[in-house]
């Protein structure tokens, strides 16, 4: 019997230790939105609970503790972001958002609470979590609607080197324009567990600004238990359906930044539960006195209760000191096109909005991005070390505001290599990886933006197929604009003309023409274009209207290249006002005699590194007195002239690749050249060659054709383009070329385009395609360069 008791005691002890050591909570936040009345007269309130744990299946369990909280009519949980870059003992973290709809019968104040155990390892000994949400659905006298809570978001995990002071502006946007205050929780076991104010930090409650000043490094985090509250900027009343009302007034501003204590001579405020001890006094709390609608509100003299109360809890890690606190060295520095903190971005229902984030760190490697935002927000890293945050709002999000916060991570140490540094020789740019000298993970500053969801202005949808995008725009959605003044990015090619029927404007856009832009991340290729308005005034394009319909198609990179994208490229026909019609042909030949053209059925061509490639571009024109000039040629792994990091072959009419040879031409509408076959280091085993060409009036010294090669040391003057003298720039391409290797793996083609397995992502209006929202941040091309591999390189 004694041994049984000992065994039970041991099992109980193990159980207790397991519970205590099962630390998995990182933080949480809550917002809510009044969504109107249901048919049965109840009030619909939507709560957004963001919880962060060490696994993605955990979430808080909320319960009603005061007032009439109604009942849950719907709930949906999604993963927002996850990371394994946490502190030493708790590396995994996963943030989810649970969207819960409650139907509430009363518009009187009510409270929801959640509590349990345990936080991850904290240095300020926060063990249990206690969170509180206070809601008041009384109709405001200034807006005529129930109060909207502040839109609160923070990254659930922040880190900083101990020697690098930093300021964090918390995202607390209020849709009603109220003043928002942030404070540490002070009601133990209700708003907070320990109600601790971590040492080494200063919180400006009025501006919701957290200042990290100094602390010591520790593998455990500080657990922050804060509350966010909103207060009206003027005196307002809240009216309830039972005929009662209450008064609210602004929070009293004081010179001291210390928190204002509640008077001990007041009656219990509504947001303090009845289970909490409160002084038994006879002095009424003037701000919560409810009266009938015939009474006048009492003039307030004490701090007013908040319109709503929201929890804001997160973890903060202080790392060992960094070698430098200067942003852009070890700590990532956010640069253009990253939006500024607090920027308001407009999005449309069922249209994808896009936020572009870029950071730099000269002695560290930009590793990733951490985000917090609404359900279904996604993040992507492009091959140019930029990050794209995308989100598509639904009709249910109309009229709401959604904050999105982000920070970029950089890393140093063993196994981490800095980006290659270009060392220029006479003819090549050699790249040498530079090892880093110190181990560490660093965060950039945290920035947050607010996305306002509006109605869709232009109704349209996209169909994505193997080699083109078809865009259909409803005429009724832009009835005041002339469809004759709509154009794609580059309408110079005749196939880029928009057509129309009785209901839609239609554009069939090739993936490699009409100004289509190409972007890629690790998994997908994204082709983008847009329809804009213009007015043609003597060849000067001016945009007179606000219509900009951006659209894209997204395709997975893995799989076999589709036949439609790999076949021989056909001739390009261009019509230009004042210059007539041109047809350009771009072909490969067997040798420098240019007599035997490569069979179009043999594409994609397979060549070995170092093999001489012979190419000819030839134009035919409806106007006899013309000449052709090849201004630039470049190679890219995809057949798109707008690929952002191509290999430059010819630039400004000058040879750039040292293996280029230019041959005499039979007439002035020809260009014959050759170069050695090469490959993009680290990219695909196939390339496309594209060139930009111009047609000019033959013999006219005032044209670009007459200038020839223009390098940095040439003295030249720019010529204004005039009608009947020279054309615009046109693009021709040919390929693909596949490079042979002696030990070629049969799976190498698996990294090429798969346009048979069409995957469409973005803004949904049709099951097969989508339209991107008007708001998209533009980016500059990355300056990554490539070099040809020598023919003697081992396979």
* Residue 555: band (very low, low, confident or very high) from pLDDT cuts 50, 70, 90: confident
Are 248 and 307 contacting, i.e. CB atoms less than 8 angstroms apart? yes
Question: Does 202 fall in a domain?
Answer: no
- Of the ranges 18-32, 56-70, 171-185, 206-220, which one carries the lowest mean pLDDT score? 18-32
What's the rounded mean pLDDT across residues 14-28?
A: 59
Number of DSSP helices (H) and strands (E) in the chain, helices first: 3, 53
pLDDT at 570: 78
pLDDT at 293: 37
Convert the pLDDT of each residue in 195-214 to its tens digit: 999 999 999 999 999 999 99
Rounded Cα gap, residues 68 and 66, in angstroms:
7
**Which distant-in-sequence residues (6+ apart) come within 8 Å of 273 by Cβ?**
65, 66, 111, 190
What's the rounded mean pLDDT across residues 668-689?
A: 75
Query: Which CATH number does the domain housing residue 672 bear?
Result: 2.60.40.4100
Number of domains in the chain: 3
Question: Does 110 fall in a domain?
Answer: no
What's the rounded mean pLDDT across residues 68-73?
A: 96
Provide the Cα torsion 362, 367, 371, 376; round to 10°.
Answer: 140
Convert the pLDDT of each residue in 316-370 to its tens digit: 999 999 999 999 999 999 999 999 999 999 999 988 899 999 999 999 999 999 9
Which is it for strands 151-153 and 401-412: parallel, antiparallel or unpaired? unpaired
Question: Does 367 fall in a domain?
Answer: yes
* Residue 652: band (very low, low, confident or very high) from pLDDT cuts 50, 70, 90: very high
Q: What are phi and psi of 367, to 5 degrees?
A: -105, -45
588 & 729 share domain = yes
505 & 639 share domain = no
520 & 546 share domain = yes
Could you say which of 456, 489, 517 is where a domain stops? 456
pLDDT at 526: 83
351 & 442 share domain = yes
Could you say which of 456, 485, 518 is where a domain stops? 456
pLDDT at 14: 36
Question: Does 562 fall in a domain?
Answer: no
365 & 478 share domain = no
Convert the pLDDT of each residue in 606-622 to its tens digit: 888 788 999 999 988 87
Question: Does 447 fall in a domain?
Answer: yes
Q: What are phi and psi of 456, to 5 degrees?
A: -70, 130
* Residue 638: band (very low, low, confident or very high) from pLDDT cuts 50, 70, 90: confident
Q: What are phi and psi of 396, to 5 degrees?
A: -70, -15
677 & 528 share domain = no
Task: Output 508 or 577, whichever has higher pLDDT.
Answer: 508
Q: How far is CA 451 from CA 94, 175, 356, 462, 619, in A?
A: 23, 11, 14, 24, 50
628 & 585 share domain = yes
Write out the DSSP string of 437-449: SS-EEEE---EEE
Question: Does 424 fall in a domain?
Answer: no
User: Three-state SS for 790?
Assistant: coil
pLDDT at 256: 45
- Of the ranges 363-377, 391-405, 602-616, 755-769, which one carries the lowest mean pLDDT score? 755-769
Query: Which CATH number does the domain housing residue 523 bear?
Result: 2.60.40.3210
- Reply yes or no on whether the pLDDT at 112 is more than 70: yes
656 & 685 share domain = yes
User: Three-state SS for 338?
Assistant: coil
* Residue 724: band (very low, low, confident or very high) from pLDDT cuts 50, 70, 90: low
Q: What are phi and psi of 352, to 5 degrees?
A: -75, 130
Top-confidence range, 564-568, 672-676, 791-795: 672-676
449 & 341 share domain = yes
* Residue 3: band (very low, low, confident or very high) from pLDDT cuts 50, 70, 90: low
Residue 217 burial (CB count, 10 A): 12
372 & 509 share domain = no
User: Three-state SS for 13?
Assistant: helix
Task: Output 118 or 555, whichever has higher pLDDT.
Answer: 118
Question: Does 645 fall in a domain?
Answer: yes
Top-confidence range, 83-97, 228-242, 414-428, 739-753: 228-242
Could you say which of 556, 584, 602 is where a domain stops? 556
> Containing H/E element for 563?
helix 563-566
Residues of the domain holding 591: 572-711+723-739
User: Would residue 27 be called left, alpha or beta, if left means φ above 0 and alpha means ψ between -120 and 50 degrees?
Assistant: left
619 & 673 share domain = yes
- Reply yes or no on whether the pLDDT at 35 is more than 80: yes
Are 612 and 676 contacting, i.e. CB atoms less than 8 angstroms apart? yes
470 & 447 share domain = no
Question: Does 173 fall in a domain?
Answer: no
Query: Which CATH number does the domain housing residue 407 bear?
Result: 2.60.40.10
């Amino acid at each position: 019997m004694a041994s049984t008791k000992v065994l039970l005691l041991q099992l109980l002890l193990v159980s207790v230790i397991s519970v205590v050591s099962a630390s998995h909570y990182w933080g949480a936040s809550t917002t809510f939105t009044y969504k109107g009345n249901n048919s049965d007269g109840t009030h619909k309130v939507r709560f957004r609970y963001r919880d962060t744990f060490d696994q993605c299946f955990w979430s808080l369990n909320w319960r009603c503790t005061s007032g009439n909280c109604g009942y849950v009519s719907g709930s949906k949980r999604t993963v927002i972001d996850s990371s394994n870059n946490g502190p030493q003992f708790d590396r995994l973290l996963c943030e989810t958002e649970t969207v819960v709809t409650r139907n509430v019968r009363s518009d009187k104040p009510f409270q929801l609470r959640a509590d349990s155990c345990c936080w991850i390892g904290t240095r300020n000994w926060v063990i249990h979590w206690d969170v509180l949400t206070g809601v008041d659905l009384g109709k405001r006298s200034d807006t005529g609607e129930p109060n909207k809570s502040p839109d609160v978001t923070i990254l659930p995990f922040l880190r900083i080197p101990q020697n690098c002071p930093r300021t964090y502006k918390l995202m607390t946007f209020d849709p009603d324009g109220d003043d928002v205050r942030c404070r540490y929780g002070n009601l133990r076991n209700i708003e907070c567990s320990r109600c601790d104010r971590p040492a080494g930090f200063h919180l400006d409650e009025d501006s919701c600004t957290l200042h990290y000043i100094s602390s010591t490094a520790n593998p455990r985090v500080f657990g922050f238990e804060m509350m966010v509250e909103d207060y009206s900027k003027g005196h307002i009343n809240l009216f309830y359906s039972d005929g009662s009302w209450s008064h609210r007034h602004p929070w009293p501003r004081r010179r001291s930044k210390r928190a204002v204590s509640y008077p001990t001579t007041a009656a219990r405020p509504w947001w303090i539960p009845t289970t909490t001890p409160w002084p038994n006094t006879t002095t009424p709390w003037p701000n919560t006195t409810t009266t009938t609608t015939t009474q006048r509100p009492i003039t307030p003299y004490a701090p007013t209760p908040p319109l709503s109360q929201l929890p804001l809890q997160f973890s903060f890690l202080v790392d060992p000191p960094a070698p430098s606190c200067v942003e852009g060295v070890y700590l990532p520095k956010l640069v253009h096109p990253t939006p500024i903190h607090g920027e308001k971005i407009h999005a449309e229902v069922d249209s994808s909005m896009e936020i572009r984030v870029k950071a730099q760190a000269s002695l560290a490697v930009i590793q990733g991005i951490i985000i917090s935002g609404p359900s279904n927000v996604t993040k992507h890293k492009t091959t140019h070390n930029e990050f794209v945050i995308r989100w598509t709002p639904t009709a249910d999000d109309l009229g709401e505001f959604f904050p999105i916060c982000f920070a970029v991570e950089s890393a140093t140490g063993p196994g981490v290599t800095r980006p290659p540094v270009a060392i220029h020789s006479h003819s090549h740019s050699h790249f040498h990886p530079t090892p880093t000298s110190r181990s560490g993970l660093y965060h950039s500053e945290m920035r947050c933006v607010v996305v306002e969801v509006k109605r869709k202005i232009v109704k349209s949808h996209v169909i994505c197929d193997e080699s083109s995008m078809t865009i259909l725009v409803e005429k009724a959605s832009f009835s005041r604009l002339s469809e004759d003044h709509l154009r794609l990015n580059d309408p110079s090619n005749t196939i880029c003309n928009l057509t129309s029927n009785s209901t839609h404007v239609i554009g069939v856009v090739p993936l490699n023409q009409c100004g289509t832009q190409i972007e890629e991340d690790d998994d997908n290729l994204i082709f983008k274009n847009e329809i804009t308005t213009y007015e043609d005034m003597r060849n000067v394009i001016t945009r007179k209207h606000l219509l900009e319909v951006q659209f894209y198609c997204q395709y997975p990179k893995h799989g076999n290249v589709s036949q439609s994208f790999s076949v021989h490229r056909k001739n390009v026909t261009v019509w230009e006002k004042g210059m007539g019609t041109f047809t350009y042909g771009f072909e490969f030949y067997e040798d420098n005699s240019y007599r035997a053209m490569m069979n179009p059925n043999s594409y994609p061509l397979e060549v070995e590194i170092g093999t001489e490639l012979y190419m000819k571009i030839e134009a035919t024109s409806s106007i006899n007195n013309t000449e052709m000039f090849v201004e630039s040629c470049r190679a890219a792994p995809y057949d798109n002239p707008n690929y952002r990091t191509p290999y430059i072959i010819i630039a400004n009419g000058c040879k750039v690749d040292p293996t280029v040879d230019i041959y005499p031409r039979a007439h002035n509408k020809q260009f014959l050249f050759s170069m050695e076959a090469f490959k993009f280091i680290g990219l695909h085993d196939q390339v496309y060659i594209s060139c930009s060409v111009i047609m000019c009036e033959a013999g006219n010294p005032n044209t670009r054709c007459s200038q020839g090669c223009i390098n940095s040391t040439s003295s030249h003057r720019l010529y204004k383009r005039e009608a009947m003298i020279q054309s615009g720039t046109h693009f021709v391409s040919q390929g693909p070329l596949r490079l042979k290797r002696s030990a070629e793996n049969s799976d190498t083609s698996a990294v090429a385009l798969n346009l048979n397995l069409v995957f469409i992502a973005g803004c949904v209006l049709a099951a097969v395609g989508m339209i991107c929202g008007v708001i998209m941040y533009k980016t500059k091309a990355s300056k990554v360069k490539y070099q040809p591999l020598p023919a003697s390189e081992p396979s």
